[in-house]
Amino acid sequence: MDALAQYRRQREGVDEAQVFLELAEEGDAEALGELRDTVEQVEAELAALELKQLLGGEHDAGNAIVEIHPGAGGLEAQDWAEMLLRMYLRWCERRGYRTELLEHQPGEGAGLKSATFTVEGAYAYGYLKAEAGVHRLVRISPFDANARRQTSFASVLVLPDIEDEIQIDIRDEDLRVDTYRSSGAGGQHVNKTDSAVRLTHLPTGIVVACQNERSQHKNKSMAMKILKARLYELERQRQDEKMAELTKGKKEIGFGHQIRSYVLHPYRMVKDHRTGTEVGNADAVLDGEIDAFIDAYLRSQMGAEKGAAAPAAS
pLDDT in tens, 224-241: 989 988 998 888 888 777
- Tens of pLDDT along 278-298? 999 999 999 999 999 999 999
Using the predicted structure, report yes or no on whether residue 66 has a pLDDT greater than 80: yes
pLDDT score recorded for residue 307? 55
- Listed range (177-191, 193-207, 275-289) with the worst mean pLDDT: 177-191
Of 251 and 85, which is predicted with more confidence? Answer: 85
Please report, rounded to a whole number, the percentage of residues in the chain having pLDDT higher than 90.
50
pLDDT score recorded for residue 255? 56
Using the predicted structure, report yes or no on whether residue 81 has a pLDDT greater than 70: yes
Using the predicted structure, report yes or no on whether residue 175 has a pLDDT greater than 60: yes
Residue 58 half-sphere exposure toward CB, CA atoms < 13 A: 9
Of 299 and 5, which is predicted with more confidence? Answer: 299
pLDDT score recorded for residue 8? 81
Confidence band for 313, pLDDT divided at 50, 70 and 90? very low
pLDDT score recorded for residue 247? 42
- From CA 192, how far away is CA 33, in angstroms rounded? 64
Using the predicted structure, report yes or no on whether residue 142 has a pLDDT greater than 80: yes
- Tens of pLDDT along 259-273? 999 999 999 999 999
pLDDT score recorded for residue 132? 95
- From CA 87, how far away is CA 284, in angstroms rounded? 9
pLDDT score recorded for residue 296? 94
Please report, rounded to a whole number, the percentage of residues in the chain having pLDDT higher than 70.
85
Average pLDDT rounded to a whole number, residues 143-150: 87
pLDDT score recorded for residue 26? 85
Using the predicted structure, report yes or no on whether residue 308 has a pLDDT greater than 70: no
What is the chain written as a DSSP string?
--HHHHHHHHHHHHHHHHHHHHHHHTT-HHHHHHHHHHHHHHHHHHHHHHHHHH--STTTTS-EEEEEEE-SSTHHHHHHHHHHHHHHHHHHHHHT-EEEEEEEEE-SSSSEEEEEEEEESTTHHHHHGGG-EEEEEEEE-TT-TT--EEEEEEEEEEEE--TTSS-----GGGEEEEEE---SSS-HHHHHTT-EEEEEETTTTEEEEE-SSSSHHHHHHHHHHHHHHHHHHHHHHHHHHHHHHHHT-----STT--SEEEE-SSS-EEEETTT--EES-HHHHHTT--HHHHHHHHHHHHHHHHHHHSPPP-
What average pLDDT does the structure give for the chain? 85
pLDDT score recorded for residue 74? 86
What interhelical angle do 29-54 and 291-309 show, nearest 10?
Answer: 60
